[in-house]
Amino acid sequence: MKLLLSVIGLALATLKENKVRSFLTLLGVIIGTGTIIGVGSILAGLDGAVSGAIQSVGTNTIIVQKATFGFARTPEERQRKPLSYDNILAITARCPSVEHVTPILLPPTGAGGGFFGLMGARYKGNDYAQAQVYGSDEYYAAGGQSEIKTGRFFSDTEDRHRAPVAVIAEDVYKSLFGSGDAVGKTILVGGHQLEVIGVMGRPAAALPGQADSRILLPYFTMRKMFPTAREHQLMIQAKEGQLAVALDEVRVVLRQERRVAFSQPDNFFLSTADQLVDQFRSITSMVALVMVVLSSIGLLVGGIGVMNIMLVSVTERTREIGVRKAIGARRSDIILQFLTEAVVLTGLGGLLGMLLGWSVSQVTRLLLPTLPTLVPLWAVLLGIVVSVGIGVFFGIWPASKAARLDPVEALRYE
C-alpha cells in the first residue's frame, strides 16, 4: 500500500509538471465521461417523469384506441374505422370484470380551424390557439388527471342534457383570464359558447415541459357541437385484481363488435400503463445504447491521447528509467509506475467528466424544473470503470516499452 501511494504521488507530481499537456490529453476522456453522466441523468429523470405520467392513469386501467400511439402508424391502421359509442355500451353490458368505461371523444379534423384535436379558444380579447378539446364523462375526474383548483367538474346530468359547460386546464386559464376569476365566464371554443364551471390544476405526473391545454366538455355536449366527431379513445377501469380477465373480455367483445374474423389480427389497440412504460423504456434503452456508442468515440480518442503522451513520457524519461533499473528496480516496478500514471491521468479525466456531467444535469434541472434529473448510480460506476479501464488498456504498451529498455542504453540516452 505504501509503495502504491508513493507511485501515485510520483504520478501526480509528473502530471503537475505538464499541466496544459495533461489537460489537453484528457479532453476526450472528460467529454466522453461527461456525456455518459449528463445524458444518463437526463434519461433517468425523463424515465421517472414519463413512467409516473403513464402510471398515473391507474394500474387497473386499460387504454383502447383504433391504432397504436404516435404518428408512426401503418396505412392499414390509419384506415381502420373508429371506435364507436356502441362499442362502449357493449363493453359496459358484456364485460363483468369492467367497473366502468370512460369515453374520450376528439373533435373532427379541421373543426374550429384545428387539427389532431387542437382548436382555438377565446375570451374577450384573449386567445389560446392550440387547446386540446375533448368530450368525456364524470368518471374522467376519478382518473387522477383533473384535480379541480376552482369550481367543479361537470355531472352526469349536465352530460345527459348536453349542457354548454366546460372545465379548462391551468395554462388555458392563465392565457384567457390571467389571474382573474374564470368560473361562470363564457368562452368561445370552435365557434361555440361555453360556460366555464371549473379550472383543473396541472397533473402531478405531467411530462417535463408539457403545456396543459385541455378543455373538457361533457361527452354528449361534444357530440352536439360536432356531430361528425367519430374518433374515440376509451379508458376502461377494471375491477380490483381483475385486469387480466378484463383485458380478455374487452378484446373478445371488440372483436365481435368490429366483425374481426377468427384468423385476422385485432383492428384496435389495447394497452395498460405497465405495457406503455415497457414500450417507453425500450425506446430509452436504445437512446442509452446510442449514447454509449457516441461516448465511446470520445473515450477512444482520449485513450489514444493518453497512450501518445505516455510514449512521449517514456522517451523523455529514458535516463530516469535507466537509473532506476541500475539501482535495482525490476520490470514489474517500471510497469507499475507507468500504468499507475496512466490510470491516475484517466482517473482525473473521469472525475472532471463526472463534474461536467453533473453540471449538465443541474443546468437541465434549472431550465426544465419539471424534469427531475438524477445522476444514476450506474452512470457513475460506468464512468469510473471506463476511465480507469482506458488508463490500464492504453497504458500497457508505454509501460511495457519502458520496462523493456536496456539500462545501459538508457543511461547513455541524451
Q: Could you give the CA distance from residue 231 to residue 239 in angstroms, rounded to a whole number? A: 26
Give me 214's grid cell: 385541455
CA–CA–CA angle 33, 37, 43 (5° rounding)? 140
Tell me the torsion sign for CA atoms 385, 387, 393, 398.
negative
Give pLDDT, residue 241. 82
**CA 215 → CA 20, 21, 159, 228, 259, distances in Å?**
59, 60, 15, 19, 34
Residue 46: CB atoms within 10 Å: 20
Q: Could you tell me if 350 and 29 are in contact, meaning their C-beta atoms sit under 8 angstroms apart?
A: yes
- C-alpha closest to that of 132 among 117, 120, 143: 117
- What pLDDT sits at residue 30? 80
pLDDT of res. 316: 66
DSSP 72: -
Integer Cα distance of 89 and 305 in angstroms: 69
Please list the residues that pair with 127 across neighbouring strands.
122
Closest CA to 270 of 281, 283, 260, 284: 260
Q: In the prediction, which pLDDT does 115 show?
A: 44
Burial class (CB in 10 A: 0-12, 13-18, 19+), 348: buried
How would you write the pLDDT of the chain (414 residues) with one tens digit per residue? 555 566 666 666 666 666 676 677 777 778 877 877 877 777 777 776 666 666 555 678 888 888 876 555 677 777 888 888 999 999 999 999 998 898 999 888 755 444 455 788 998 888 888 888 989 998 887 766 677 889 999 999 999 999 999 999 988 999 999 888 999 999 999 888 999 999 988 765 555 556 788 899 999 999 999 888 888 889 888 888 888 899 899 999 999 988 888 888 888 888 877 777 776 777 777 777 777 777 777 777 777 777 777 777 777 666 776 677 677 767 777 777 777 777 777 787 788 888 888 888 888 777 776 666 777 777 777 777 877 787 777 777 777 777 676 665 655 555
For residue 150, which amino acid is it?
Answer: T
b/e code 83-122 from CB counts within 10 Å (16+ = b):
beeebbebbeeebebbbebbbbbbbeeebbebeebbbbbe
**Helical spans, DSSP H, in 18-56:** 19-55
The grid coordinates listed for 381 are 460506476
Which residues, other chains included, contact 69 with Cβ-Cβ below 8 Å and sequence gap of 6+? 269, 271, 276
